Amino acid sequence: MKILIVGGTRFVGRYLTASFLQKGHQVTLFNRGSNSESFPECQTLIGDRDRDLKPLMGGTWDAVVDTCGYFPRQVERMAKSLKESVPHYTYISSVSAYKSMEEKNQTEVSELGTLDDPYTEEINGETYGPLKAACEKKVKTVYGEFSSLIIRPGLIVGPHDYSDRFTYWPARAARGGEILAPAEPDRLVQFIDVRDLAEWVTSMVEQKASGVFNAVGDDYKMGEVLTACLSITNSRGRLVWAEETFLKEKKVDEWIELPLWVSSKEFIGIQHINNDKAIDSGLTFRSIQETIMDTLKWDQKRNIKTGDYKAGLSADREKELLSEWHTRSASHS
């Protein structure tokens, strides 16, 4: 197949490109020149979806995968420009498209978010999800239900994840010492290895599949994940499980300062998305041990300083919280 990938090749685009190439397909990249040297075997069309789609004119492909559509206007423009030359459109959306994250076990037919201002192009916590939902609608309007594939991932992790929203834990385990962890150990968390996502999307595009799919990972226990991080890194670290009431009192940011931790009622559903439909269509998951090991190997190669991670507690902040937690625990014993 001739595949067009819209977007960079830094993370999700990188592994989608690698997966299509591994399956023997011909891949064309359309982006602003992001990391194109990683795939010299691919044709790279340099352009900007907001300003210049001319490099796409005259080309024909069997399918397009759009990894970077954030605004309905730009997604609609892209879809319309490709409609006559590309018969199948895959759009990478997000589970954030759902109206509410208070509910657990949401499926693909759950209600989507809407924009107060349909013309806004400001991305923030209130607009990101509804913008994704609006982009989905544009794809389906242009391509129809049977020629469009909408993928809603949850948290995507693995090597080259520069958000550090998972990377923090293997890196922190490798440093050892006392490690502040958010209780309870039995808390369920969801994440998907970027390679599992890419390989499954490749298969779905090969089948010219259509419809909407939640592409989220399996259910894991927080304690299981963090214990695996210690085991994989051969760390002598020790997990210190601090109660949520303490963490909230100290204004620890869930999801960012302590990655994977979500306790607020309005966001709890993001760790409990229903993925039955995707699994039935062939989505499979590698072991968390493999994800942890490969993420750590990549992280160690980039040699990043402890204080430069984009997510996770700083060493000083963690030390302070551990001291206060030990003091509190001792006073209550």
At 287, is the pLDDT very low, low, confident or very high (cuts 50, 70, 90)? very high
Strand partners for 146 = none
Cα separation of 137 and 266, whole Å? 25
pLDDT average, residue stretch 134-151: 98
φ/ψ region of 327 (left if φ > 0, alpha if ψ in -120 to 50, else beta) reads alpha
Whether the CB-CB separation of 307 and 236 falls below 8 Å is answered with: no
pTM: 0.96
Q: Lowest mean pLDDT: which of 22-36, 135-149, 169-183, 271-285?
A: 22-36
Estimate to the nearest angstrom the gap between the alpha carbon of 165 and the chain centroid: 9
Q: What pLDDT shows up at residue 189?
A: 97
pLDDT average, residue stretch 234-254: 96
Q: What pLDDT shows up at residue 194?
A: 98
pLDDT average, residue stretch 170-175: 96
Is the pLDDT at 305 greater than 90? The verdict is: no
Higher pLDDT, 179 or 263: 179
Is the pLDDT at 304 greater than 90? The verdict is: no
pLDDT average, residue stretch 300-322: 93
Is the pLDDT at 135 greater than 90? The verdict is: yes
Q: What pLDDT shows up at residue 245?
A: 96
**Secondary structure element (H or E) that encloses residue 170, with its range:** helix 168-175
pLDDT average, residue stretch 22-51: 91
Is the pLDDT at 333 greater than 70? The verdict is: no
Cα separation of 173 and 150, whole Å? 36
pLDDT average, residue stretch 7-31: 96
Cα separation of 66 and 143, whole Å? 13
Q: What pLDDT shows up at residue 176?
A: 96
Q: What pLDDT shows up at residue 165?
A: 95
Is the pLDDT at 332 greater than 80? The verdict is: no
Q: What pLDDT shows up at residue 174?
A: 95
Is the pLDDT at 35 greater than 80? The verdict is: no
Q: What pLDDT shows up at residue 306?
A: 79
